[in-house]
Structure 1
């Protein structure tokens, strides 16, 4: 078994020759370019049992040689694919289950029904141009320039991509090389494997994915915990990217926005352990992306939830439907702008820079590495949550500090202005994300109860904040001569939203009591 680490990049097919002639790649090459014709058959059952177990099973022919490969587990973030891979030569083009040696895979394929039901599902035909590169820092990578197609029955899908497979060293030079190539070639990160594209062509549509729990252990340093959380957030972002671009479900954009908020929250949390200035440039770049996602998501919620609730009650009103149509046009425009942002060179460069930044540990000062800098205590210099302590101590100090901040609003909750209630909502959201990041250190039941109370607060305060957001959205709607009663329709919407906000204000007191009773779990 090997842990395959590779950076995948998509490129237009008319750029293949340009990449082949690249002076940069020629200067890094330590082997001549070799061309291979690859024919690969992917197997699964009619119920996609292997996919359901996060396993890809394939047979590949190169020349006269057949190789059986099984891939599973791992992660994808910023184009960096990390998966476990088992490869073994086989004498003929059919699965040989006797070649499987990994215990977990033996258990999976020991099922006679599964083996009997496995059939070729799709194939890939590919011309591969391969060379070995010496990377900066002394590591090596195998560059594969693949051009071909995925075939399922009568349907096919072309692909043209670069795979930079790390053979030794750090992933950092992979991102640096991709950034250099981006200056001359319109590359994009490829976060979807050929196998997943084959399944999509076979009719398996991707589903929006929520965040997965972060796997932290108490022995981790604060720095290691930050990187684990940041990569988890990036994986959440990119697991929804293809669906956001190509599938009509608005939940993909929602999950990308949540992932981005989680990542920005992680930067905020750990800027207390490291130099805030070291985090500032990346935080600024992510603010740009948030500005692209925010309006699209706000319009999605307004049109598909708020207006959808109002419409049945005022279906005969002459102004509601014309206004709804205008709002739908604006919603689609903002969604197009969000997709254009994700497809832009700016986004690709940002994600590559983020991958490089996370691989370089450039935010860690020499004094941090020596364990001498204890700035991380959120209660002030010398606090117990710094780099000199464990990540669990850091988490406990941070969660306790933010919990106290929330508690300060207890007695004056009823007197807070809308702007102040919005600040409470932001603080509750940050505390919720932090609680979810560090949940693995604490008793699950206590964490769940606390997070649930925060989520309830956040939802109620969010509805109350909708009044201000919807007022801003309505200002974007172009006016007419009001011959269709649209001004009155706007008034109906304002009244509806204000009424819901008042109802939620009554619920806020009870939700706050529940939060106040919830026990801290740290």
Structure 2
């Protein structure tokens, strides 16, 4: 498929342009929220009461074409820049737009547009964009550029007045043309123009009640490049470490860590299916706990009442998944190994069957709870908090001072304090009761999350060894907790089988007691190894 470039071929691109004035994007990009909709939702949006009631006037229709130029190896795109000629009617301009950042949830860099110089594409201007390899641009010959993809865009734009907020709502239907094929993404953009930024998210939450949408992970150009490159340069796989560096402030670090955790949560909740597979339930709960831990670690820097409310909503969603997770752990860590050890034990088979039935009921209840939880509303609040850095209340003077502190200093203080508290809590485990063990397990989780949050600031083997030693402790404490839960679940199951249930419950209790004793004996050595493990931060 040949792309109609609608501009001069590469041989006619300017060969020796004068050095242009530097291109400087705005220091604070405008707040833009990008949403994915399907064709049916797009039709609903155009007639939605929430749009019609808040539109200041009739919508404006715009049609334009963007042809993106790059090397055959997509060198410019791989540096996070889209380089295009945009045509709208008789008006044509050169367009340079950052495409290196996924748009999910908040601010994304705006395109930089300039009039064409004598109808010629001017690649020299690329040298002034942030993050571009200036040396490579200097070596780039005009003849190296070819049209790699084209977008035909149909935009319907409403000017929205929502409370004190003013913003543009754009419904964009794109037709992507490339040698690799075609795409037809449909997206909605909300671009804040004036007034409180929270109004944009409040409007999006109200819009979602009428129009189903998802927060976009790729804009139309990124989707087009993904098609052309046959790979995703903006993966959304969970578990990616936040990008932290030593020059960051506490506020910058908080937002980076929060964005990574929110991306994980969205991905994990998005993977949940009606069957609620074991690993999906587990990872969704982990993502929720990680976010709650972030709110706790940075609690002194955040507005207290909104922070508690947000943490409460995360806790409620985690609790909805909790019963299914308990049955999963019971079946995998107790019934399965016990069955292997005892073979054809009739009571255990009945116990396992009943447990599987109750697990399916719990999974169905959990899935229904997730669907009913207005996760999109929660996701929009998280987007405002972490993607856009907008909190319901301005920080207090004390919190503002803390947010301005160096991240590394804050991380060191938190790590030191958490480590010291954990050592004190674990010093007397031999005499600890179930409630003490449960508390120590929670402390271990919190310390591990803190270590993983700040680990990118301290790369190297010491951090890996510390986290590994902490994971060993957490595994043993998890075994101890599983044994307590297993005895309770077995008793619940036994009540439903008068003939074989009591014996099966007794077998579970005996197995759990043996597991508990073995775990306690292992703990002493694992704890000793942990206390000998070097701390990976520098105490000051």
Counterpart CA distance in 2 for 1:342 and 1:54 is 39
Q: 1:361 aligns with which of 391, 404, 411?
A: 391
Identify which of 254, 261, 268 aligns with 1:233: 261
**Maintained 8 Å contact 2:470/2:530:** yes
Q: How does 1:395-406 map to 2 (within 5 A)?
A: 395-406=411-422
Describe the SS at the equivalent of 1:74: coil
Whether contact under 8 Å (1:133, 1:141) holds in the other structure is: yes
Q: Evaluate the alpha carbon distance shift between residue 260 and residue 214 of structure 1 in structure 2; reply closer, same or farther with a 3 A threshold.
A: farther
Q: Distance in 1 between matches of 2:514 and 2:84?
A: 62
Which residue of structure 1 aligns with residue 169 of structure 2? 143
1:392 aligns with 2:408: yes
Equivalent residue, structure 1, for 2:14: none
How far off its partner does 1:506 sit?
Answer: 1.1
Q: SS of 1:210's equivalent?
A: coil
Of 468, 471, 475, the residue aligned with 2:484 is 468
- Larger deviation, residues 257-266 vs 211-220: 211-220
Structure 2 residue 55 is matched with structure 1 residue 25:
no
Please state how far the C-alpha of 1:32 moved relative to its aligned partner: 4.0
| Cα offset, 1:210, TM superposition | 2.2
Shift of 1:415: 0.6
For residue 412 of structure 1, what is the aligned residue in structure 2? 428
TM-score of the pair, normalised by structure 1: 0.72
Judge conservation of contact 2:86–2:95 (CA < 8 Å) in 1: no
- Does structure 1 retain, via aligned residues, the 8 Å contact 2:415–2:450? yes
Give the structure 2 partner of residue 180 of structure 1.
206
Q: Is the 8 A contact 1:4 1:84 kept in 2?
A: yes
Residues 249 and 7 of structure 1, relative CA distance in 2, 3 Å threshold: farther
Written as runs of structure 1 = structure 2, the 5 A alignment for 1:69-468 is: 72-75=99-102, 79-80=105-106, 82=108, 129-133=156-160, 141-145=167-171, 162-165=188-191, 172-182=198-208, 184-185=209-210, 187-190=212-215, 192-193=217-218, 209-220=238-249, 222-245=250-273, 250-274=278-302, 276-344=304-372, 346-358=374-386, 359-368=389-398, 371=401, 389-442=405-458, 444-468=460-484
| SS of aligned partner of 1:343 | helix
CA contact (8 A) 1:88 1:99 kept: no
Deviations 1:70-89 (A, max 9, x none): 98542465x55858989999
Post-superposition CA distance 1:185-227 (Å, at most 9, x none): 1545335558899999x999x996325235254441x333323
Q: Secondary structure at the match of 1:185?
A: coil
How many residues are paired up?
494
Contact 1:10/1:161, CA 8 A, preserved across alignment = yes
Q: Once the 2 structures are TM-superposed, how far is the Cα of residue 515 of structure 1 from its aligned partner?
A: 1.5
Q: Is 1:488 matched with 2:517?
A: no
SS at match of 2:273: helix
The change in CA–CA distance for 1:441 and 1:345 in structure 2 (over 3 A counts) is closer
Cα distance in 1 for partners of 2:160, 2:135 equals 36
Gap change, CA 1:369 and 1:518, over 3 Å in 2: closer
Return the alpha-carbon distance in structure 1 between the equivalents of residues 504 and 259 of structure 2.
46
Q: For each residue in 1:271-294, what CA deviation from the matched residue of structure 2 results, as whole angstroms up to 9, or x when unmatched?
A: 234554442221222221121122
Distance 1:403 1:363, change over 3 A: farther
Give 1:466 deviation, angstroms.
0.4
Q: Please, what TM-score do these two structures have when normalized by structure 2?
A: 0.70
The aligned runs of 1:28-47 (5 Å cut-off) are 29=55, 32-34=58-60
Structure 2 partner of 1:46: none
Q: Residues 329, 263 of structure 1: CA spacing in aligned structure 2 closer, same or farther, 3 A cutoff?
A: same
Structure-1 separation of matches of 2:471 and 2:508: 26
C-alpha distance after superposition, 1:123-160 (max 9, x if no partner) = 9999764435467766x654344679999xxxx99987
Deviations 1:395-438 (A, max 9, x none): 22222222221222354221111210111111121112112222
Deviations 1:291-318 (CA, angstroms, capped at 9, x unpaired): 1122232323333454333333344222
SS in 2 for 1:360: coil
* 1:512 matches 2:527: yes
In structure 2, the CA distance between the partners of 1:517 and 1:8, relative to structure 1 (3 Å rule), is same
SS in 2 for 1:272: helix
Quote the Cα distance in structure 1 between the aligned partners of 2:394 and 2:46. Answer: 37
- Asked whether the equivalents of residues 466 and 533 of structure 2 are also in contact (C-alpha less than 8 Å), the reply is yes
User: CA separation of 1:61/1:270 partners in 2, compared to 1, >3 Å: closer, same or farther?
Assistant: closer
Higher mean alpha-carbon deviation, 209-218 vs 497-506, is at 209-218
d(CA) in 1 for partners of 2:223, 2:514: 47
SS of residue in 2 equivalent to 1:255: helix
- Report the CA distance shift for 1:75/1:17 in structure 2 as closer, same or farther (over 3 A): closer
Q: Deviations over 1:343-374 (max 9, x none)?
A: 33532222223333453233544423663xxx
* Structure 1: tracts of 5 or more residues without a match: 43-48, 90-96, 372-385
Per mean C-alpha deviation after superposition, the further-off stretch among 297-306 and 14-23 is 14-23
Aligned CA distance change for structure 1 residues 353 and 158 (closer, same or farther; 3 Å): same
Q: Please say which of residues 206-215 and 142-151 is displaced more in the overlay.
A: 142-151
Secondary structure (helix, strand or coil) at the match of 1:240 reads: helix
Q: CA-atom RMSD, angstroms? A: 5.3
Could you tell me which runs of 5 or more consecutive residues in structure 2 were left unpaired when the two chains were aligned.
1-22, 69-73, 116-122
